[in-house]
Structure 1
Amino acid sequence: MNPDSDTPPPAHPGRHRALIGAVFAAIGASQPFLPAYLLERGLAPGEVSLVLALGAAIRILAGPLGGRLADGLGNPRLLLVLLGMAAALAAGGFTLAAGLLGFLLAQLALNAAMAPMTPLADAICLAAARRSGFEYGRLRVAGSITYMAMAVLAGWLAGRFGLSLLPGLMAAALASVAVAALALPRPPDPAARAGPRGGMLMALRLPGFTSLLLLSGLIQSSHAAYYAFSTIHWSAAGHAPATIGLLWAVAVLGEIALFLHGHRLVRRLGPAGMAMLAAAAGLLRWGSMATTTWLPALLLIQLLHALSFGAQHLAAMQLIQRLVPPALASTAQSLHSALGVGLLMGLMTWLSGPLYAAWGGGVFLLMATLCALALPLALWLRGM
C-alpha cells in the first residue's frame, strides 16, 4: 500500500499514544457510570436506554460526516481539536440538564462531537504505524490503559463524592483530546496525499468492506447490554461503585495484554480466525453474565473482554489496513464505527432497556445470540 503522502510527517509514537489515550480516557469517564448517573438524576431504566440509544443513533450520522470531512480537509488533527473542545462543553451541559428532554439534548450534543473521535484517532495511528513499521496494537494499548485508569478513578470518586462529579470528569478528559491533537505533527499538504479520492460510496464499494461492517456490528453490538446496564445490574446485586469500577478495569487488563502481544496471534490466525475467537468468547461471556453476579465469577468473565472486544477490534483494523487506500482512511474508519458498530449497537441498546426491566440479567442471552450469528460470517471471511 502506498504511503500517506510523498513527504510524510515524522513518527512520534509517544504523541500518538497520548492522543489515543486521551480519547479513551474520555470514554472511560463516561461509559461505565453515565447510565447510573442518569438513573440517579431521575430517569427510569427505559428512559436511560432511550437516551443512550438516541445518542448512539446520532453517532451514525456524525461519525461518517466527520470522517469524510477529515479526508476532504486532509487534516484530521485540526478536526480533533475542534471536536474535543465541543465535546467538553457538551459534557458540562449534563450539570444543567433536567428531565428526559434535557438529558437527551445533552447526550445528543455529546455524542455528535465524540462520534468521529475514535475513528479519526485510529486512522491517524494506523497511518503512523504503516509509515513507520511499528505495531498498531502497541499504540492502541495506551487507550486501554487510560480507559482502565479513568474507570477506576470514576468508580472511586462516585463512591466517595457521588455521581454528581461525573460531568466535570468527562469534560476534563475531553478537553485533553484537543490538547493531545494539537501536539501531533502537522500533516502534509493535502494535495500530496496519495491514493484515490471519493465519498462514502467508494469506501462501501471496496471488496469485503460491507461484510466487515456486518461482522463487527454483530460482535461489538453484543456488548450493548454490558455497556448500558452492567453497572446498574451489579449495583442491584450489592456491589459497591469502587468494586464495579475495578470490574470494568479488569476487563481492560486482558485487553491491554492482547494489544501488547496479540500481533503474533493476529498473524497466525488472520482476521477471520480472530473474529471467530471473538464470537466464541462472546458466547461464553454473555451466557455466563446471564446466570451469575458472584464476584469471583465476574472477575473471570471480565477477562474475556480481551477476546470478545479486543480480538474483533484487531481483526477489523487489520482488514481496514489491507482493504482501504490511505485517502479514504478516515472515511472508512468512521463508516466502520457508525454503520459497522453504531447502527446495531444503537438498536441493541434501545432493546436492552425494556428487556432488562423484564428479564434482568437474562438480557445477556440476547447478546450471546448475536455472537452465535457472527460465527458463520467470520468463516466466510477466511479467504480475505
Structure 2
Amino acid sequence: MVLKPASGGHTGPVSPAFRFSLIFGAQFASLGAALPFVPAVLTAGGLSAQQVGLVLALGTGTRLLANPWAARIADRTGLRGTLALAAVVSGLLLPLLGWGQGIAVLLAIYILHSAAVAPIVTLSDAAAIAEIRRRPFDYGRVRAWGSVTFILAALAAGQFVGLWGAGSALYISCAALLATGAIALTLPPHEALPPAARGSMWEPLRHPAFRRLLPASALIQGSHAMYNGFSTLHWQAAGLSPGLVGALWGAGVIAEIALFVFGRRLVEKLGARGLAMVAAGSGVLRWSVTAVTVDPWVLFPIQLLHACTFGAMHLAAIRSLGALPPALGARAQALHTSLGVGLATGVMMVVAGPLYAALEGHAFWAMAGLCAMGFVAATRLGR
C-alpha cells in the first residue's frame, strides 16, 4: 500500500482525505474530552477507588471482546453503517454516566458504552486503508488531525469541568461522537462482503505477515503501559509540577503530530519493517533514559521519541495491514487492535503496578527490555 497523496483527482473539500480528516478529528476529540474525566465522573456517582478500577478494567475487557465481533458485523452489513451506528449509540450512552448512581448502574452503562465505542477507531482505519487502495492519500497527515483534536478537546474539557463539573466533559464527548456518526455516512461506500469472501473471524491469523505483526506491536506498543500508568506519578513524586508534567506529555503528542504531517518521505523510505525497527530502538533509548533521570532538560528531548515509539509503530502497522488481502481489512484491524495492542497493553498495565511499587522509576528498564525484544520481532516484518 502506498501512503502518499494522489497526483490528481479529488482536491476539493469533499475529497476522501478531507472526510477522513474530519472523522478522525471528531472521534479523537471525543477521547480527549472524556478520557481524563471518566474516573472523576464515576467517583461522583458514588464509586470507591477500587470500584472505579473495576469498572474501567471491565470496560477495557469489553472493548477487546467487542472489536472483532463488530468487524464481523461490518463485513456482513458494510463499514459505513456499522461505524455510524457505533458512534451514535456510544455517544448517547455517555451522558448517562453523569446521571447514574451506584456500581450496578454505572457498570452496566459503561460496559454498553465500551462495547459500542470499541470499533470506532478500528473501522475508521479499515475504511481509510480500503480507500487508499482506490485513491491514494497521505494517511499520516489525515490521522494527525486526531492527535490535534485530542489535545484541543482535552484543554476545552478542562475549562468546562472547572466551571460545571466533571460531567460536562461527557457532553463534549457525546457531541463529538454524534458528529463522528454523521461524518461516517459521508465516507466513500465500502459494501458488505459477499458470503463467499467472509470466512472466519480469525482468518487474518492464517497469514504469516499478520502473525509477524502481532508480536512486534504487542511488545513495542505494550511498552507504553508504564508510561501511561505511572510516569505522571513518578515525575510528580520527584518534584515536577503538574504544569511541567503536562508539558512533557504535550511534547510527545506534538512530536507524534509532526511525524504524521511531515514524515511521508521517511515513511516511504523505511517501510513497515524499518518503521518498526526505529520504534523499537527508540523505545530502548527512551525508556532507559526515563529509568535513570527525572531532569526536565533531559526528559523534554527524550519525550520527542514518542513520535517514534508510538507514531512510527502505528504507521508500520497500518502499512502491514494494508498489504493484506482487502477482504480481511476490518477483521485484521480489529484483531490487531484487540490482540496486538489492547490485550498486550492491558496485561502490561497489570504488571506495571507491582513493578513500579517495587522499583519506582527503575521499572522503566523492563519497558526497555520489551522494546529490545520488539526489535527482533520487527526485523521479521516485510516492507
TM-score interval (norm. to shorter): 0.7 to 0.9
**Cross-structure match for 2:72:** 68
User: Deviation of residue 36 (structure 1)?
Assistant: 6.4
- After TM superposition, list the pairs within 5 Å mapping 1:1-384 onto structure 2: 11-34=15-38, 43-44=48-49, 49-73=53-77, 75-98=78-101, 104-158=107-161, 163-185=166-188, 187=189, 189-190=191-192, 196-234=197-235, 244-322=245-323, 324-381=324-381, 383=382
Conserved in 1, the CA contact under 8 Å of 2:80 and 2:190? no
The superposition leaves residues 143-189 of structure 1 with CA deviations (integer Å, 9 ceiling, x where unpaired) of: 1211222233344555666545333333233222212213324x155
Structure 1 unaligned residues grouped into runs of 5+? 2-8
User: Deviation of residue 66 (structure 1)?
Assistant: 0.8
Q: Structure 1's 245 and 43: CA in aligned 2 closer, same or farther, altered over 3 A?
A: farther
User: Deviation of residue 309 (structure 1)?
Assistant: 0.4
Secondary structure at the aligned position of 2:57 is classed as helix
**Cross-structure match for 2:4:** none
Q: Structure 1's 314 and 357: CA in aligned 2 closer, same or farther, altered over 3 A?
A: same
Q: Amino acid of the residue matched to residue 346 of structure 2?
A: G
- TM-score after normalising by structure 1: 0.84
Secondary structure at the aligned position of 2:229 is classed as helix
Q: Structure 1's 246 and 103: CA in aligned 2 closer, same or farther, altered over 3 A?
A: farther
Name which structure has the greater RCO, CA cutoff 8 Å, separation 6+: 1
Q: Structure 1's 179 and 258: CA in aligned 2 closer, same or farther, altered over 3 A?
A: same
The percent of aligned pairs where both chains have the same amino acid is 44
**Cross-structure match for 1:5:** none
The superposition leaves residues 265-288 of structure 1 with CA deviations (integer Å, 9 ceiling, x where unpaired) of: 222222112111111222222333
Q: Which moved more, 1:276-285 or 1:337-346?
A: 276-285
The superposition leaves residues 31-76 of structure 1 with CA deviations (integer Å, 9 ceiling, x where unpaired) of: 34545666787643x6655443332222221001111111121x21
User: Deviation of residue 291 (structure 1)?
Assistant: 4.2
The superposition leaves residues 65-111 of structure 1 with CA deviations (integer Å, 9 ceiling, x where unpaired) of: 111111121x2111122111221233223323556655544443332
- TM-score after normalising by structure 2: 0.84
Q: Structure 1's 147 and 279: CA in aligned 2 closer, same or farther, altered over 3 A?
A: same
User: Deviation of residue 325 (structure 1)?
Assistant: 1.7
Conserved in 2, the CA contact under 8 Å of 1:22 and 1:174? yes
Conserved in 2, the CA contact under 8 Å of 1:30 and 1:166? yes
Structure 2 unaligned residues grouped into runs of 5+? 2-9
User: Deviation of residue 19 (structure 1)?
Assistant: 0.7
CA–CA distance in structure 1, aligned partners of residues 283 and 351 of structure 2: 18
Q: Amino acid of the residue matched to residue 113 of structure 1?
A: A
The superposition leaves residues 232-253 of structure 1 with CA deviations (integer Å, 9 ceiling, x where unpaired) of: 5555566666655544332221
Conserved in 1, the CA contact under 8 Å of 2:74 and 2:192? no
Conserved in 2, the CA contact under 8 Å of 1:31 and 1:227? no
CA–CA distance in structure 2, aligned partners of residues 352 and 283 of structure 1: 17
CA–CA distance in structure 1, aligned partners of residues 361 and 275 of structure 2: 27
Conserved in 2, the CA contact under 8 Å of 1:145 and 1:256? yes
CA–CA distance in structure 1, aligned partners of residues 200 and 82 of structure 2: 18
